[in-house]
Amino acid sequence: IDDADLDTLVTGITAAATASVAAAAVVAGRRRAGAGVMSAPWLADVAERTLEAGLHREPVVRRAGAAEINLASNDYLGLSSHPAVIAGAHAALDEWGAGSTASRLVAGTTAAHIDFENDIADFLGFEAALTFSSGYLANIGAITALVGRGDLIVSDTGAHASLIDGCRLSRARVEVVPRGDTEAVRRALARRTEDRALVVTDSIYSIDGMIAPLRDYYDAAAEHGAIMLADEAHALGVRGPGGRGVAAEQGLSGAPGLVITTVASKSLGAQGGIVLGTGLLRDHLIDHARTFIFDTGLNPAAVGAAHAALRVLRGDPQMPDRLRAGVRRLASACGGDVPDAAVVSLIVGDPVAAVRAAAICREGGVFVGCFRPPSVPEGTSRLRLTVRADLDDDTLDTVAAVVTAALREVGAA
C-alpha cells in the first residue's frame, strides 16, 4: 500500500466516521428535542428510521469564502456571482426595496418586472411572459390554469416534481407515458374522451440532462388539438442559438399552442419562474393561476439580477458553447455518457454509497450533488455534477480526478 492509497483510505474512513457520528448525534438530539412535544409516535418512528439508516437529507452547510469547487448547483453559466448580475440585484433593491410586499394584483407591479418580462419574451421569441416567484410555482400555476377536472394531461416519466404536482393539483385525468415515447403520447391523445388535453414535458430532463423529443411531442399535440407545455428550466442558457433553449433549437419559438416555462434560478443565477406564450395566455394566467394571484410577487432583487444576467447572456452568445465544451471534457474524464446539457450523472446505485462518495468528494474540495430516492428511482442513486461555463480546463481535470477516486473508493468505478 503506497502513500496515496493510505491517504485515500484515511479520507474514506474519516468521511464515513464523520457521517455516522453526525447521524447518531442528530438522532439523539432529535429524540431529546422531541421528548414531550412529539405527540405523533408514527412520525417519530418514521423520522428516526430515516435518520438511523443514514438516509436523512440535511442540506450541506456552505461557508462563505470556502475554497471549494461547486458542481452541485444549477448555476450553469456561473452568473450568480457575476459582478453585473450582483449589481443588477443591488440596483433593483435600491430602487424597489427588499420585497414585493404583496401579490402583484394587490400591491401593483414594478416596472422592473414588466421590463424583464418583455425582454425575456423577446429573447425567446414569444409574444409575452409572466414571472412567478419560483419555477415550481410557475409550473403549478400554469398547469392548473390551463386544465382542470374533466380534462386530460399526458405527461412522461421524466417530468420534474413541479410538473407532477401541477398535474395532481389540476384534478385532470393524468396519463403517464414512457419518457421520449412520442407514439405513446399520440395514442393517449387519440383515444381520449376528454375535449381538452395538455401535454407536459421537461425539454431537458433534470436528472440526467438528456433532451426530450420536443418537436415530435409538439406535432402529436398539434395533430390532436392539444396544448403543449414544455419546461425549459435546464435548457435556457444551455442549448439552442445563444442559449435560447430546445424549443428554439427545434424551430418551435412562438409556435401556436406552445407554452414554455423556464426559470431564472438556474443559468441566470437568480431566482424566479417564467411562463411564455401569447399575450392572451399571459392575461389568462393573471386571472386564473392561483400561484400568481395568491403569492407575493417575485422579489425585486431577483428580477434585477435575472434581467442583468439575461443581458450578459445576450451579449456573449458563445457562453453556452463554452459550457458544453466543459461538459464534454468532464463527462469523458469521469467515464460517463456525454449528456445533451450541463448535467453529468454518475450512477452509484446504492444510496448510502452515493452519500459516502459525495462526502469523499467534499473532503477533496469538490462539492457535487447526490441524488437518491425519491428524487431518482430505487437502485439509481448517483452523483450529479453540473458543469459551469466559468470553470477552466485545469479545474475540470481536478474535479475529474477527485470524483473518479471517490467512485473507486465506494466500489462504483
Pairing, β 366-371 against β 381-386: antiparallel
What does the alpha-carbon distance between residue 154 and residue 223 come to, in Å, rounded to a whole number? 14
Nearer to ligand PMP, 167 or 407 (CB): 167
Task: Indicate whether 265 belongs to the interface with ligand PMP (CB under 6 A).
Answer: yes
Binding to ligand PMP, residues 118-137 (CB under 6 A): 134-136
- Check binding of 162 to ligand PMP (CB under 6 A): yes
75 lines the binding site for ligand PMP (CB under 6 A): no
Q: How many other CB atoms are there within 10 angstroms of residue 5's CB atom?
A: 9
- Position among 75, 117, 175, 202 found at the interface with ligand PMP (CB under 6 A): 202
Toward ligand PMP, which CB reaches closer, 12 or 272? 272
Task: Give whichever of 76 and 356 is closer to ligand PMP, judged by the CB atom.
Answer: 76
Maximum distance among all Cα pairs of the chain, rounded to whole angstroms: 70
Residue closer to ligand PMP (CB basis): 11 or 206 = 206
Minimum CB distance to ligand PMP smaller for 175 or for 295: 295
- Given a contact cutoff of 8 angstroms between Cβ atoms, the answer to whether 344 and 336 are in contact is yes
Phi, psi of 407, rounded to the nearest 5 degrees: -65, -40
Task: Name the segment binding ligand PMP (CB under 6 A); options: 227-235, 246-254, 376-384, 404-412.
Answer: 227-235
Give the residue with the Cβ less far from ligand PMP, 12 or 166.
166
Round to whole Å and give the CA distance between 297 and 292: 7
Is 231 a binding residue for ligand PMP by CB under 6 A? The answer is yes
Nearest distance in Å: CB 306, ligand PMP: 11
Contact flag: residue 381 with ligand PMP (CB under 6 A): no
Query: How many Å apart are CA 153 and CA 197, to the nearest integer?
Result: 6
Q: Which of 89, 221, 263, 396 binds ligand PMP (CB under 6 A)?
A: 263
Rounded to whole angstroms, how far apart are CA atoms 206 and 231?
10
Does 369 bind ligand PMP (CB under 6 A)? Our answer is no
The burial class, CB within 10 Å (0-12 / 13-18 / 19+), for 148 is: middle
Q: Would you give the distance in Å from CA 393 to the centre of its chain?
A: 25
The span from the CA of 232 to the CA of 382, in Å, is 23
Which residues in 91-143 belong to E strands, given as ranges?
128-132
206 binds ligand PMP per the rule CB under 6 A: yes
Q: Residue numbers of the site for ligand PMP (CB under 6 A)? A: 134-136, 139, 160, 162, 202, 206, 231, 233-234, 263, 265, 273
